[in-house]
Every structure is written in C-alpha cells, then in structure tokens.
Chain A
Amino acid sequence: MMATHDKARDLVAPQRLGLDTRVEFRQTAVQALEALPEGTGCLVIDLSNTRQVDSAGLGVLMLIQRRAAERRQAVVLRHPNDEIRFLLAITKLAGLFTIEPVSG
C-alpha cells in the first residue's frame, strides 16, 4: 500500500518481510523512489504491522537504501518493533536509515 505526499512516499511493509515478500516489496519501493524527483524527497517505510524481518528482508531494506542513496533520497523506517530495531542495531545497519520510533 502506498500513499503520496509532495516530497515523501509512504509504503506499508508486509507483516513478514522476507523470502516470500521481498521481490514485490522491493519493486514497489523502487517505483516509489523513482516517482520522486531525483535529489529530493524520501521514502517512508511503515513497519507498524511488521512482526518479522529475516535476512532476506534485511537485504531488501539495504537494496532499497542503496537505490535511494544513488538518487540522493532518504529512507525512513517508521515504527519498527523492538525486535526489528534490535536486528538493525546488531547488524550495524541502523545508521543507514532514519528511524521513527513508536511514540511513548
């Protein structure tokens, strides 16, 4: 699911981001990045409903981030749960993204 703003695109990540969902999710994310003018805007990946990210899912997030960096755009991870934040931290990937924590 994708929502459009002036300089941001919101993309809701699946409940399980991994082997089964990586191809479609990556295609949608790249399309969203390319719909924004190069050198501006950001892709907000909403992880509120995502319960699990496996190694394939981590790989997809990295590929999306790399594509965004090539286009000088940013990727925001919105509301990742504790396990996903821990996974990003322990793999030292957290610094690649802007992370919007769950409020409270």
Chain B
Amino acid sequence: MPGTLVTVEGPNPCNCLPPAWMRGAFEGLPMSSERRRRRVLIVEDEPALRLSYERHFNPRYDLVFASTGAEALAKVEAEPPDVAVLDMRLPDTDGVDLLRRIRIRHPTLPVIITTAYMSIEPQLKVLDLPHSGYILKPFRLDELGARIDAVL
C-alpha cells in the first residue's frame, strides 16, 4: 500500500554472501569502475610541485601531468580524466580561462583550481561554472586528496 512502512525482520540481505558457485565467477574479467584507478589530470608548471603530487598520489590515482593550458586541453581531448586539478597561474593562461575552455566540450568534468587568491570565488560565481571549485594555497596534500575524493 502506498505510504505504508513495512518492516521485514531477518538477516540484512546486504550482508549475505553469494553462493559458493558464484564466488570467483568474475575473476579475470576487467576491473569494475569502482576498482579502476581514477585518472587525475594535474596542470602545474612548477617541477617541485609536480614531484610532490607524484610522490604523494601516484599509487592512489592514475596521474597525468600537463604544464601549460594548451597541453592540458590536448590531454583532456585525448583521454578525458575523472577530475582535473588546475593551477591558477600557468605560463600561457590562467586556471579560470582554462576551466572555461574545458567546459565547452566537457560540461560535467569536475575541476579543482589551486590558487593563493580569494578573489577567485566571485570569478567562479559570476561565470556560473558548475562542477568546479577551488582550494586555497597553502594547503596540505591530504586536503587536496580529500577534495579529489569528494568529487570522484
């Protein structure tokens, strides 16, 4: 009956193991999307920071690096990442402009901009760019990891 709460007593079906014949039936098949390492594009031109990102995140994510906006756009087109982390200051553009250009063909790709300037917040609001956010420098690598995990 609509609107009626029915309580079923018994074992939680989520805790039940599959029958023995089913266990291992999926071995050898491609990894599910949950188990696949998520592809993270990091756009950063500072070598020391790229090294830090690599050392910290490499086992956790499938990292792809770009050091300019043009290189980042090419990599997004070649194989779209699950999330992109853009430095605000790049040699050939800035993070917001790059985000705007990514949005043309990838409207839902999550993007995180790293910046030292609070002034980015009104910029992002005015441009009304969904699926995007920022993290203020200096931040800890674990904070960035938490932000990445939150949007994946």
**Interface residue ranges, A against B (CB under 8 Å):** 55, 82-83, 85-87, 89-91, 94
> A86: which B residues are within 8 A, CB to CB?
49, 52, 56, 140-141
> B138: which A residues are within 8 A, CB to CB?
55, 87, 90-91
Most chain B beta-carbon neighbours within 10 Å: one of A55, A86, A87: A86
Q: Considering the chains assembled together, what is the distance between the CA atoms of A90 and B139 in angstroms?
A: 8
On whether A82 and B48 interact (CB within 8 A), knowing A90-B137, A90-B138, the answer reads no
Partner pick for B141 among A55, A83, A91, CB 8 A cutoff: A83
> A89: which B residues are within 8 A, CB to CB?
46, 48-49, 52
**Interface residue ranges, B against A (CB under 8 Å):** 46, 48-49, 52, 55-56, 137-142
Cβ contacts A to B, 30 pairs, < 8 Å: A55-B138, A82-B52, A82-B55, A82-B56, A82-B141, A83-B56, A83-B140, A83-B141, A83-B142, A85-B48, A85-B52, A86-B49, A86-B52, A86-B56, A86-B140, A86-B141, A87-B138, A87-B140, A89-B46, A89-B48, A89-B49, A89-B52, A90-B49, A90-B52, A90-B137, A90-B138, A90-B139, A91-B137, A91-B138, A94-B48
Q: Considering the chains assembled together, what is the distance between the CA atoms of A95 and B129 in angstroms?
A: 36
> A94: which B residues are within 8 A, CB to CB?
48
Q: Considering the chains assembled together, what is the distance between the CA atoms of A86 and B142 in angstroms?
A: 11
Given contacts A85-B48, A90-B138, 14 further A-B contacts (CB under 8 A): A55-B138, A82-B55, A82-B56, A83-B56, A86-B49, A86-B140, A86-B141, A87-B140, A89-B46, A89-B48, A89-B52, A90-B137, A90-B139, A94-B48
Question: Closest Cβ of chain A: how far from B40's Cβ, in Å?
Answer: 16
Question: Closest Cβ of chain B: how far from A31's Cβ, in Å?
Answer: 29
